Amino acid sequence: MSGDLLITGGTVVEAGWSGPADVLISDGRVSALVETGTATAATTIDASGRLVMPGGVDPHCHVGFTSGEFTSLDDYRECTTAAVYGGTTTIVDFAIPRPGENPADVAYAQREKASQGLCDSALHGCVVEWDDTVPDQLAALIGDGITTFKMFTTYRGETMASEDTVLRTMKTLAGLGGMVVIHCEADHIIGDTQRSRAAAGRIGATDMAATRPALAETASVAEVLAIAESVDAPVYFVHQSTAEAVELVAAARRRGVRAYTEAVAHHLVLDDSRYAGDHPERFVCCPPLRSAGQVEALGRHLFTGEITTIGSDHCCYDTAQKEIHREDVRAMPNGLPGVETRLPVIFSEYVVRRGLPVSRFVELTSAAPARANGLYPRKGTLLPGADADIAIWNPEATWQVTASGLHMATDYTPYEGMRLTGRPETVLVNGRPVVEDNALADPTPRGRHIRAVPFGRGGA
């Protein structure tokens, strides 16, 4: 058996299995997964002592996102450059309408940017307000391979959708093979908490954790689960930040509801003590970082299987943007840069330090995000026929995270100074080495928009 490129001598890691095998690549796709030493190719990569994994699929990435007065600082080229350095080879971005814009126009415009990427991307649409044209827009978008739609139960006056809009959107999507992906925080609870705290002068970045209580998340998750169950629609909860919220979803799943949990790296690794440090504004995100006990409890659900995927919720603001309103979190840009650090931080903290099986790591960060977003088996696996997006990982490399050593379009990383074990060394995108020995080998943008397969026909 022969092909264009052979990755030989490594340990292949798939969701559910890892072991010695060689990966044969032809025409940008995996052509075979074979016993070590049984195939040949024009070019060979020696992966001895390395893990050979499907490249990461980041299900939650905001690229150049505008919210309030702020726009996050990266474009597709910059975001995907950082992504590939970190071993991620597919990002899923969001097309979120501003007031007065409609979902389809925004999604089609955003889709055009995929070609600026160093790797492929997919897109979540978004519904904020219901009107009679929404069903036709959703049907058209699903026909064009945009099948997941972000909704919010918070950010009143910006992107918040009413319960009625959530229900109508879920019901419509269920009939079309689409799925709502939803940010759940009960805005009325947060609004009341923030008004009280503002009156007492305690609404700055140092107070972030208390301004958006965990109960607001729990309340909203319960409400949205009930809506999904009532209309028999699938639902995916983004960035669940507490074990209580995850357990509500798990209980619904045991009743037969098609409900899924995404956790994001910063909620699994960082706690709210960061708001007492030197730069509390750098850690302002929604939901906020939780207590050390809550982080520990959330992380346990990576082992129980109750967490479906790990995303980054990458949103690339810099310190200057974060500082402007640091005395009032209501006016601050929310979000942390993370597309580049998601895989190495989770690998080091959970696989190396806590014994999470490496095949489960691939499941959480690549295969399951690909399935939930209708991208599997083209992405998220090394099965023959899959795009040859591959991270060749040195599991023993030790390194220290610094903003200056990363490639995101900002001046800080929430993980500054953290010592990690394991990192990607060589990263292939569609069979081409884009990163070699931790250096960018091919900066040519060849990104493609990947059409998602409707849910229930190859979905999660």
Note the residues at the interface with Zn ion (CB under 5 A).
313
Residues with Cβ < 8 Å from 266, sequence gap 6 or more?
Answer: 283, 285, 289, 313, 336, 338, 414
Closer of 3 and 288 to Zn ion (Cβ): 288
CB of residue 380 vs Zn ion: minimum separation in angstroms?
20
Tokens of 181: 């992906």
Q: Which of 150, 143, 174, 9 lies closest to 93 in space, CA to CA?
A: 150
Helix (H) or strand (E) holding 229: helix 214-231
Closer of 185 and 313 to Zn ion (Cβ): 313
CB of residue 326 vs Zn ion: minimum separation in angstroms?
21
State which amino acid sits at residue 180. Answer: V
CB of residue 187 vs Zn ion: minimum separation in angstroms?
16
Closer of 22 and 313 to Zn ion (Cβ): 313
CB of residue 60 vs Zn ion: minimum separation in angstroms?
6
State which amino acid sits at residue 403. Answer: A
What secondary structure does DSSP assign to 381-425, as a single string?
A: --STTSB--EEEEEEEEEEE--GGGS-SSSS--TTTT-EEEEEEE
CB of residue 103 vs Zn ion: minimum separation in angstroms?
17
CB of residue 312 vs Zn ion: minimum separation in angstroms?
9
Closer of 211 and 312 to Zn ion (Cβ): 312
Q: Which of 399, 269, 404 lies closest to 336 in space, CA to CA?
A: 269
State which amino acid sits at residue 315. Answer: C
CB of residue 236 vs Zn ion: minimum separation in angstroms?
12
Q: Measured on CA atoms in the order 337, 342, 345, 346, is the torsion positive or negative? A: positive
Closer of 3 and 335 to Zn ion (Cβ): 335
Closer of 220 and 430 to Zn ion (Cβ): 220
Closer of 272 and 313 to Zn ion (Cβ): 313
CB of residue 306 vs Zn ion: minimum separation in angstroms?
21
Q: How far is CA 3 from CA 21, 30, 180, 279, 286, in A?
A: 15, 9, 41, 51, 47
Rg (CA), the chain: 21
CB of residue 62 vs Zn ion: minimum separation in angstroms?
6
| Residue at shortest CB range from Zn ion | 313
Closer of 78 and 313 to Zn ion (Cβ): 313
Residue in the structure block whose two tokens are 């209708």: 374
d(CA 401, CA 254): 40
Closer of 9 and 335 to Zn ion (Cβ): 335
Tokens of 169: 């959107």
Tokens of 332: 């601050």
